[in-house]
């Protein structure tokens, strides 16, 4: 009998259009904070007096720049781990021509950092920082080292290229991602539960019958997926590639 890993590996290599959804379970496994993590939210609220959603909001950015950047620098863009083996496996699958697209609403840019190029980032990427007026670009070091990172030419604070809470997602990215899902024959969701709003936004467009969930824990709605594998994604996914 074939193991689950082998079955999913076969699906991956027989796919014509493989699309992967990066979920918070994967970024958390790589030790990046998740806005869905209650423990983290609780700790942030204790330390800063507001929830992570309030702190990373357009309102807070425009009214309390000093506090916004304190939270942003201490909790969001501080130095963290490199993309783990799961991300490396995704990059390898893309190089092999198997993986056609990654869709994410994570802001940490881990897929791109690992080497994936075709990434649809619903909420942007903390590694891109432009002045909204003159479009000059700024490094992560600049964002980390200046109390309120400001464009020296325009004298306005730099808005990181992320969609803050209260800001619209870019429609063109969402519709391109939907096209990818509609074309996919195999759809793999990494670290995502069936009831996640992210999956529920995209899943209705999927026409295939090979939805694969790879994640750490069992959830009662997982039966709705066609294939499931449980464990550390950074251990499972590398075993599913050649």
* Distance in angstroms (rounded) separating the CA atoms of residues 150 and 129: 11
Q: What are phi and psi of 129, to 5 degrees?
A: -140, 115
Q: Is 178 helix (H, G, I), strand (E, B) or coil?
A: helix
- Give the neighbor-by-neighbor strand order of the sheet with 227-230: 119-121, 99-104, 18-22, 186-190, 211-215, 227-230
Per DSSP, what are the bridge partners of residue 41?
none
Size of the site for Zn ion (CB under 5 A): 7
| Cβ contact 118:101 at 8 Å | yes
Which range binds Zn ion by CB under 5 A, 55-63, 139-147, 149-157, 169-177? 149-157
Q: Could you say whether residue 151 binds Zn ion (CB under 5 A)?
A: yes
* Distance in angstroms (rounded) separating the CA atoms of residues 83 and 27: 9
Residues between 181 and 210 with contacts to Zn ion, criterion CB under 5 A: none
Residue from 14, 47, 74, 153 binding Zn ion (CB under 5 A): 153
- Closest to Zn ion by CB, 27 vs 129, is 129
Which range binds Zn ion by CB under 5 A, 71-79, 90-98, 106-114, 125-133? 125-133
Which range binds Zn ion by CB under 5 A, 7-15, 82-90, 136-144, 231-239? 136-144
- Smallest distance, Zn ion to C-beta of residue 155, A: 8
* Distance in angstroms (rounded) separating the CA atoms of residues 192 and 197: 10
Encoding tokens for residue 138?
Answer: 């700024």
- Smallest distance, Zn ion to C-beta of residue 148, A: 14
Q: Could you say whether residue 131 binds Zn ion (CB under 5 A)?
A: yes
Q: Could you say whether residue 211 binds Zn ion (CB under 5 A)?
A: no
Q: Could you say whether residue 179 binds Zn ion (CB under 5 A)?
A: no
Which range binds Zn ion by CB under 5 A, 49-57, 62-70, 142-150, 152-160? 152-160
Q: Could you say whether residue 154 binds Zn ion (CB under 5 A)?
A: yes
Residue closest to Zn ion when measured from CB atoms: 131
Q: Could you say whether residue 133 binds Zn ion (CB under 5 A)?
A: yes
Which range binds Zn ion by CB under 5 A, 7-15, 112-120, 151-159, 216-224? 151-159
Query: What residues contact residue 90 under an 8 Å CB cut-off, 6+ apart?
Result: 20, 99, 102, 111, 114, 116, 237
Query: What residues contact residue 87 under an 8 Å CB cut-off, 6+ apart?
Result: 26, 30, 110, 111, 113, 114, 116
- Smallest distance, Zn ion to C-beta of residue 121, A: 23
| Cβ contact 148:66 at 8 Å | yes
- Smallest distance, Zn ion to C-beta of residue 221, A: 47
Residue from 134, 137, 200, 218 binding Zn ion (CB under 5 A): 134
Q: How many residues does the chain have?
A: 242
Residues that bind Zn ion (CB under 5 A): 131, 133-134, 136, 151, 153-154
């Amino acid at each position: 009998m074939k193991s689950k890993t082998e079955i999913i590996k076969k699906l991956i290599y027989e796919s014509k259009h493989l699309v992967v959804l990066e979920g918070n379970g994967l970024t958390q496994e790589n030790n990046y904070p998740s806005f869905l993590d209650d423990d983290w939210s609780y700790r942030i609220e204790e330390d800063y007096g507001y929830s992570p959603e309030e702190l990373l909001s357009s309102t807070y950015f425009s009214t309390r720049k000093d506090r916004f950047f304190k939270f942003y620098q201490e909790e969001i863009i501080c130095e963290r781990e490199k993309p783990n083996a799961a991300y490396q496996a995704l990059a390898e699958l893309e190089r092999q021509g198997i993986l056609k697209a990654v869709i994410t609403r994570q802001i940490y840019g881990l897929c791109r950092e690992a080497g994936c190029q075709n990434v649809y980032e619903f909420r942007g990427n903390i590694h891109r920082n432009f002045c909204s007026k003159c479009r000059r670009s700024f490094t992560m070091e600049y964002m980390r080292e200046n109390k309120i990172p400001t464009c020296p030419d325009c004298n306005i604070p730099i808005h990181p290229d992320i969609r803050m809470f209260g800001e619209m997602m870019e429609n063109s990215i969402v519709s391109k991602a939907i096209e990818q899902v509609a074309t996919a024959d195999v759809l793999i969701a990494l670290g995502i539960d069936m009831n996640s709003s992210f999956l529920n936004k995209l899943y209705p467009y999927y026409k295939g019958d090979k939805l694969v969930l790879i994640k750490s824990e069992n959830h009662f709605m997982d039966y709705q997926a066609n294939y499931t594998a449980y464990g550390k994604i950074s251990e499972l996914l590398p075993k599913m590639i050649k």
